Structure 1
Amino acid sequence: MSSQKLFSAFFLQVILATLVLGVANVQCLKLGFYKKTCPAAEDIVRKTTAQYISKAPTLAAPLLRMHFHDCFVRGCDGSVLLNSTKNNQAEKDAIPNLSLRGYHVIDAAKSAVEKKCPGVVSCADILALVARDAVSMINGPYWKVPTGRRDGKVSVALEALINLPPPFANITQLKSMFHSKGLSVKDLVVLSGGHTIGISHCSSFTNRLYNFTGKGDTDPSMDPNYVIQLKKKCRPGDVTTIVEMDPGSFKTFDGDYYTMVAKRRGLFQSDVALLDDVQTRKYVKLHSFSHGKSFGKDFAASMVKMGKVGVLTGKAGGIRKYCAFVNK
């Protein structure tokens, strides 16, 4: 079964899965949650993140994406960090997550915090803080992260396949998936702007270049000149070559992504889909002309909102000692 058909078959389950998991329990999240129990926690996470981003700034994009992928599956509970076991394939081994990287940064931050305050700070909070710090360290926006999340104990690969918006999603599917997480249409277009940094493998979009409808054709929604450029980099069946998502400024957090989308040069169908809704198209056009003047502020606000999706707080979940393993 193709990935598109599999997505369609499970699409309705996105809403059902969200209802089963319950409404986000956000009342226990607050700024400075560890002020008394581990006052140095956020500073330790920031310094650890800086050690890695200073040497490899391109890690910011996958760390941001990791936080997004965590929150969209079972809420922001650190479940994307769990390893698969003999009896269970975890989220990180689901197809949409195979390209995630930066787990070592999370592990390093967790280890440093554990030395200072064992058993106090959750992996879910560390991931949220690392994503924020990594983005701000490449001149992106900074936002205050409410903490108090607890770690989940369950991670299922199939749930990642069901809940994560695929690169071939249309605007109706995208709006429904974001709505199911309590996120608005504006959040959708703003968070899509995270594609201003990072790279993608050719395999995520080559069907748009060579076989869009199964007849050896090209996606008509993509700028023909851009198609020519991409074909020079990506041959049919190429699964190794990588392409900049925001050519020319993929290392810089800015509003150029919207300029690319407005020119019909978004890599994914889910990028160009932003032109198919009145509200998202208006936002794309606005920032393609203003060079993302208010994008940073909007992105910060949407990240705070996303970071509250489906969180476990209070006595729910637990505090994992190692982020890749459930406590024994």
Structure 2
Amino acid sequence: MLSFMSLLSFVTAVLLLSLSNAQIMFGFYKFVCPNAEYVVYNEMVDILSVAPSLAGPLLRMHYHDCFVKGCDASILLNPTSNNVTEKVAAPNLSIRGYGVFDRIKEKLEETCPGIVSCADIVALVARDVVALTHGPFYPVETGRRDGTRSDAQDVIGNLLPSTSNITALKNVFLQKGLSIKDLVVLSGAHTIGTSHCSSFSSRLYNATGQSDTDLTLDKTYAQKLKSKCKPNDQNTLVEMDPGSFKTFDVGYFKQVLKGRSLFLSDEALLHDRETRTYVERQAMASPAEFFKDFGISMLNMGRLEVLTNEQGEIRKNCGFVN
């Protein structure tokens, strides 16, 4: 008969083996690094209390990572003399907050060396940003491993520009295995954060190539934007959800419906029956439905082409492969 200690060792070995063979799941770190999610959350509380403007970029980091070859933290890899990585691709140049992941990773390496992936940190940070800006706290599956490839060329065609129309947006989401509902729900992430004038200035000064203003923009709003964004302004930041850009709410949908969205890709949601219906409903509703839907759509996005088991690695430093 097995002794108690032998039995305990056997059960532990089986448990660890099952974890190593698992796909992503809720509570992946429960037994191997039980404080992992608390460490991330506590760090995010401190970070956003000092730098609240990082909320928007950190939330969008998850999308910018997952839509390029899957959720593998490839966006965090630093460029080298031999490799131009995703981090310096044009669509990612406006993303800020990379130091946040270095800080959190360092804390986790002190607590559980070699256990928690940078890919999971990206997903957990996004979740905590939403919660800490008064949005929902949704469960996150963990167990992703980190990729070892990052190439700026991979960004092309996967991260669409803010000038995209509804056809292009739908095509990319469907190619990723996501739904049209996921498209409109995840667009709601624009409820927090800011954007550079350069991302939407064409709507103000050259909408059709005739030095004109986009007629779909509310006239009063367009004039207000022009007062902030002069032609060729590359530096000024504008709130994406005027009046509540620090709060995760349904204000974004209200703005889109009123013709006060910054990007053509936001206004494009009114050009499809399914996405428009959702915008109209959320613009008139309490945030309960949107909050629930957002958590589900973030889970769906967080499953894109994940690396598990023996794939990839657990980076010691998020900016470099081991």
Following the alignment from structure 1 to structure 2, what is the Cα–Cα distance between the partners of residues 307 and 293? Answer: 21
Contact 2:66–2:304 (CA<8 Å) still a contact in 1? yes
Give the alignment's TM-score, normalised by structure 1. Answer: 0.90
2:112 pairs with 96, 117, 121, which one?
A: 117
Following the alignment from structure 2 to structure 1, what is the Cα–Cα distance between the partners of residues 308 and 92? Answer: 25
The residue type equivalent to 1:75 in the other structure is G
Task: Calculate percent identity across the aligned residue pairs.
Answer: 57
Assess, with a 3 A threshold, how the Cα gap between structure 1 residues 152 and 54 changes in structure 2: closer, same or farther.
Answer: same
Contact 2:108–2:116 (CA<8 Å) still a contact in 1? yes
The residue type equivalent to 1:114 in the other structure is E
Match of residue 197 from structure 1? 192
1:102 paired with 2:116, answer no
Give the alignment's TM-score, normalised by structure 2. Answer: 0.91
1:210 paired with 2:188, answer no
What 5-or-longer segments of structure 2 have no aligned partner? Answer: 1-20
What 5-or-longer segments of structure 1 have no aligned partner? Answer: 1-25
Assess, with a 3 A threshold, how the Cα gap between structure 1 residues 213 and 177 changes in structure 2: closer, same or farther.
Answer: same
**Matched residue count:** 302
Following the alignment from structure 1 to structure 2, what is the Cα–Cα distance between the partners of residues 38 and 284? Answer: 40
2:230 pairs with 222, 232, 235, which one?
A: 235
Assess, with a 3 A threshold, how the Cα gap between structure 1 residues 109 and 169 changes in structure 2: closer, same or farther.
Answer: same
The residue type equivalent to 2:232 in the other structure is G
SS of residue paired to 2:284? helix
Following the alignment from structure 1 to structure 2, what is the Cα–Cα distance between the partners of residues 254 and 36? Answer: 35
Counterparts of 1:277-316 in structure 2 under 5 Å? 277-316=272-311
What does the per-residue CA deviation read over 1:17-67, in whole Å, with 9 as the maximum and x for residues that have no partner?
Answer: xxxxxxxxx970111111222111111111111110122222221110001
Deviation at 1:114, TM superposition (A): 0.4
Deviation at 1:74, TM superposition (A): 0.8
Backbone CA RMSD of aligned residues = 1.2
1:60 paired with 2:55, answer yes
Bigger Rg, which one: 2
Match of residue 20 from structure 1? none
1:86 paired with 2:81, answer yes
Contact 1:209–1:227 (CA<8 Å) still a contact in 2? yes
The residue type equivalent to 2:212 in the other structure is D
SS of residue paired to 1:243? strand
Contact 2:22–2:309 (CA<8 Å) still a contact in 1? no
Match of residue 180 from structure 2? 185
Match of residue 77 from structure 1? 72
2:46 pairs with 27, 43, 51, which one?
A: 51
Following the alignment from structure 1 to structure 2, what is the Cα–Cα distance between the partners of residues 59 and 255? Answer: 20
1:34 paired with 2:12, answer no
Following the alignment from structure 2 to structure 1, what is the Cα–Cα distance between the partners of residues 256 and 38? Answer: 37
What does the per-residue CA deviation read over 1:152-177, in whole Å, with 9 as the maximum and x for residues that have no partner?
Answer: 00111121232112100000100011
